Amino acid sequence: MKFEDYSMAPEVIKGIQKLGFNRPTDIQFKSIPPILRGEDVLAVAQTGTGKTAAFAIPILHQLHTRLKNVQRVDGVKCIVMVPTHELALQIEGVFKEIGRFTKVKVLGLIGGVDQDPQIETLEKRVDVLIATPGRMFDLISQGHLKVHRVETLILDEADHMLDLGFINDIRDLTRKLPARRQTLFFSATINDHIKKLAYSLIHQNAIRIQVSPKDPVAKNIEHAVAFIEMDDKRFFLERLVNNHEDSKILVFVRTKVRAERVSKAMERVGIQSIFIHSGKNQEERNEVMRQFRSGQVKVLVATDVTARGIDIPDVDYVVNYDLPDKAENYVHRVGRTGRGIRKGQAITFCSAEEKPMLAEVEKYVQKKIKVLELSKTDYEETVLFTNDPGNDLKKLMAEIEAYEASKKKKKRKKS
């Protein structure tokens, strides 16, 4: 089935075609018809399968059709609630691209930036609001954001919102919305907590959709793990980047401090990289994402703030420099590569103390990750022959040890 076979507004179909989309993905094929019928949907699909378009396309059709036939009324018609600023801005972009030929007005509402331009836009007209909780509740309490006419509530990356403690925010929002509304619930993973929340928000006869639930990781990603001690990881990252200079590489670490340190370590060996974490202000985060998305900088070091739902084009390698704190976060991290029909590589650097987490990851993804065998010589050469000036002492000591060993060997031969 092609998109043009759907009974949808030609303006929406034209926007889809402009993006080069011809046929719906599995999640889009299964989600679009019930959403168009106004039914509640609980959808679970692995990252990179096109979940955003699965709800954006039918919502744009519904709103555009009504705006053509009904006089405009105040208030937002659709709220998409998301856990992070980056995801809000990304979804805003998808709505605007697909809906470029429609009458639908879209706004991404996030904190960390001046609220006055957002208020000004809301006063003119907004049909679809993509929002993180903090700024949304600020503007509701100030009276600038009216939600009494919301017809559709969409919760995207719902599992991550629960992880971040947004469950009370979600419940607070639903109490402010009309009781009669359509609710769409999208998540990359599902567990008992997510089911409990979902079933408390959607109608009992809601459509339940699962795409590849038994395999949480996209099939076009190749996985590998290398056993590397914590202090040596920077040398192997240097080697990987130098061996793939034209590749776009996304490196995940555990903490903000680690992100900055790894980026500085790459700088010391002449590799240009940038880092992102929640400690950066929104303007800085936007600039970092712009540079990486455009390919201006090929290496991005990140905490899990960028692991969920962010569509970064053409990421060739995802490197788990540190194992994640939760096994399911491995799925979200590696999902930044191998998106759509592209192939991707996921490489994990595992130290001795991280092996228990590696076992949890393998249990979660239900498969063993291929081990990259490193010979003792290969390992030592990677560490010794770095461009890091701070490693000169190690090189000197190794040379002295090699020299002393050769002298002893010659003495033994003479005797």
What integer is the mean pLDDT of 86-105?
Answer: 93
Check whether 92 has a pLDDT greater than 90. yes
At residue 159, the pLDDT reads 79
Q: Quick check: 5 and 88 in contact, CB under 8 A?
A: no
Residue 403 has pLDDT above 60, yes or no: no
- Separation CA 172–CA 359 (nearest Å): 38
CATH superfamily of 3-211: P-loop containing nucleotide triphosphate hydrolases (3.40.50.300)
pLDDT at 153: 96
Q: Which long-range contacts (CB under 8 A, 24 or more apart) does 174-181 make?
A: 174/201, 176/140, 176/147, 177/79, 177/147, 177/148, 177/150, 177/153, 178/148, 178/149, 178/150, 178/151, 181/150, 181/151, 181/152, 181/153
48, pLDDT greater than 90: no
pLDDT for 168-181, tens place per residue? 888 889 899 998 89
Round to whole Å and give the CA distance between 141 and 145: 8
Contact present, 369 and 223 (Cβ < 8 Å):
yes
- What is the average per-residue pLDDT within 341-348? 89
* For residue 40, pLDDT beyond 80: yes
Q: Is the pLDDT of residue 272 over 90?
A: yes
pLDDT score recorded for residue 60 = 97
Please state the domain extents for the chain: 3-211, 221-384
Distance (Å, whole) CA 369 – CA 275:
27
pLDDT tens digit string along 225-258?
Answer: 999 999 999 999 999 999 999 999 999 999 999 9
**Residue whose pair of structure tokens reads 């959808």 in the numeric block:** 43
pLDDT tops 80 at residue 29: yes
**What is the reported pLDDT for 102?**
94
For the segment 390-409, the average pLDDT, to the nearest whole number, is 60
d(CA 105, CA 99) in angstroms, rounded, equals 9
Q: Which pair of tokens denotes residue 378?
A: 């290969």
Please state which CATH number belongs to domain 221-384: 3.40.50.300
For the chain, report the end-to-end CA distance as a whole number of angstroms. 83
Distance CA 329, CA 126 (A): 34
Segment (H or E) for 10: helix 10-18
Asked if the model's pLDDT at residue 118 lies above 70, the reply is: yes
For residues 140 and 356, give the distance between their C-alpha atoms in angstroms, rounded to a whole number: 45
Is 70 exceeded by the pLDDT of residue 397?
no
- The rounded Cα 161 to chain-centroid distance in angstroms is 13
Please determine, for residue 399, whether its predicted confidence score (pLDDT) is greater than 70.
Answer: no
Q: What is the pLDDT of residue 190?
A: 77
Q: What pLDDT does 198 receive? A: 82
Minimum mean pLDDT range among 73-77, 109-113, 329-333, 374-378: 73-77
Q: Do domains 3-211 and 221-384 have the same CATH topology?
A: yes
pLDDT in the model for residue 71? 61
The whole-number pLDDT of residue 394 equals 58
Please state the rounded mean pLDDT for residues 275-303: 90
What distance in Å separates the CA atoms of residue 302 and residue 5, rounded to the nearest whole number?
41
Cα separation, 348 vs 163, in Å, equals 23
Structure tokens at 385: 């022959």
pTM above threshold 0.75: no
Percentage of the chain beyond pLDDT 90 is 54
Average pLDDT over every residue of 140-166: 88
Express as a percent the part of the chain with pLDDT over 70.
89
